[in-house]
Amino acid sequence: MYTLDFNRPIHVHFIGIGGISMSGLAEILLDRGFTVSGSDMKASELTDHLSAMGARIAIGQKASNITDGIDLVVYTAAIHEDNEEFAAARDAGIPMISRASLLGQIMANYLRSIAVSGTHGKTTTTSMLTHILLQGELDPTVSIGGMLDRIGGNIRVGASNLFLTEACEYTNSFLEFYPLYSIILNVEEDHMDFFKDIDDIKNSFHTFASQTAPDGTIIINGDMEHTEDILQGLKQKVLTFGLEPGNDYSARDITFDEQGNPSYTLLVSGQPAGSIALKVTGLHNVSNSLAAIACAREIGMPLEQIRQGLLSFGGTHRRFEYKGSIGDITIIDDYAHHPTEIRATLTAAKEYPHDEIWTVFQPHTYTRTKAFLKQFADVLTLSDHVVMADIYAAREPDTGLVSSMDIVDLLKEAGTDVYYFPSFEEIEDFLLTHVKGHDLLITMGAGNVVEIGEHLLNR
């Protein structure tokens, strides 16, 4: 394993430096005095920002970008061995590591590290913790998988020994991490283009939990059916959280305000510890906040600072994000692309002021759509009306084995009012003539479906 030492800055070259995560890691290294270079296929605000900080950026990925003096090359999962820049670095004998490995190496240079994992809720919980840590003036370095207004993006470079990051299970990226505090929000079937089955996923989360520092703490959802399997044989300290009684951190007397935001009485070891109010919707965010509270208290923060930090958090981009209104019609955008996430979003929407709910759903990847076809149809029945867009392929080829029409057919069988259009323009034209009154319009999916709501607001 390659070892990165903040006390010995070197020249690190990034293949694909313009990505949101890669650019953030490059910024951390620049702040620590490293020499940074990198390439990307096109210039962007992110590459311009890195250039202004002193990075040498090349547009286009070619062998000539690999120059003398480079000590380490970092590449993204999108870069393959036939990439000529990758091949040039390999042929030159330069040490090479993945983006996830670099993130793990950066984390190891901080005395206190927090890794937030789980099938759902990572970005929101990491953002909640960011607000809490900033409320306590702990000056953390933060890496988030989404955009957070409080830090002006997805990365914050702090001066303390505290590091906070999301830990994604896809391709077992989080197995590069050895945190002091490991948070496991939930474990479900997902990314079935990589994992074989739920047992394979549980094994990965067990390994992730086992890599928590011996003197660290595992903070895990105690409501899961998989909790005991994940913790089996582990010796680290464990704290549980969840909506059910019996967890170390739980909630009772949950109520919702007129905007659907929950408040509750916090229970610590079954005893009332104070009241908590959130500015984000849904029961799932009560659970996320309990994980954040457990972690913040474990590192020594007082409850009042935690309470104020949570109250200052109004959500991240693409997580039940208010986009605007057309008359009395409210447009919300949400990243949900797994049946559990969709259920949480639509359940939260029920508490939001509305007449009827319209959901424009764009499935994300063919393998996920095929694996959860019936579950997608089941949860989408929670919406009064559903408009289906074509599947967003992302990294996958179209196998021809599944399409959005398969979900449409199941929704029709269930009696749901459902429509399908092959283009965003047709969807927008339809919505303009059918959504009315105080209806709530939600664009939903991990692809580019957000553009529909934005186009409607511009029109």
Which residues are part of the catalytic machinery?
122-123, 166
Find out whether 104 and 177 touch, Cβ atoms under 8 Å: yes
Task: Write the CA distances from 336 to 113, 130, 318, 364, 447, integer angstroms.
Answer: 27, 22, 9, 9, 10
How far apart are the C-alpha atoms of 128 and 125, rounded to whole Å? 5
Token digits for 134? 């900033």
The backbone region for 248, taken as left when phi is positive above 0, alpha when psi lies in -120 to 50, beta otherwise, is alpha
The owner of tokens 């449409």 is 408
How far apart are the C-alpha atoms of 367 and 81, rounded to whole Å? 24
Distance of alpha carbon 402 from its chain centroid, rounded?
26
The owner of tokens 């970092």 is 74
Count other Cβ atoms within 10 Å, centred on residue 41: 10
SS3 for the chain, per residue? CCCCCCCCCCEEEEECCCCHHHHHHHHHHHHCCCEEEEEECCCCHHHHHHHHHCCEEEECCCHHHCCCCCCEEEECCCCCCCCHHHHHHHHCCCCEEEHHHHHHHHHCCCCEEEEEECCCCHHHHHHHHHHHHHHCCCCCEEEEEEEEHHHCEEEECCCCCEEEEECCCHHHHHHHCCCCEEEECCCCCCCCCCCCCHHHHHHHHHHHHHCCCCCCEEEEECCCCCHHHHHCCCCCEEEEECCCCCCCEEEEEEEECCCCCEEEEEEECCEEEEEEECCCCCHHHHHHHHHHHHHHHHCCCCHHHHHHHHHCCCCCCCCCEEEEEECCEEEEEECCCCHHHHHHHHHHHHCCCCCCEEEEECCECHHHHHHCHHHHHHHHCCCCEEEECCCECCCCCCCCCCCHHHHHHHHHHCCCEEEECCCHHHHHHHHHHHCCCCCEEEEECCCCCHHHHHHHHHC
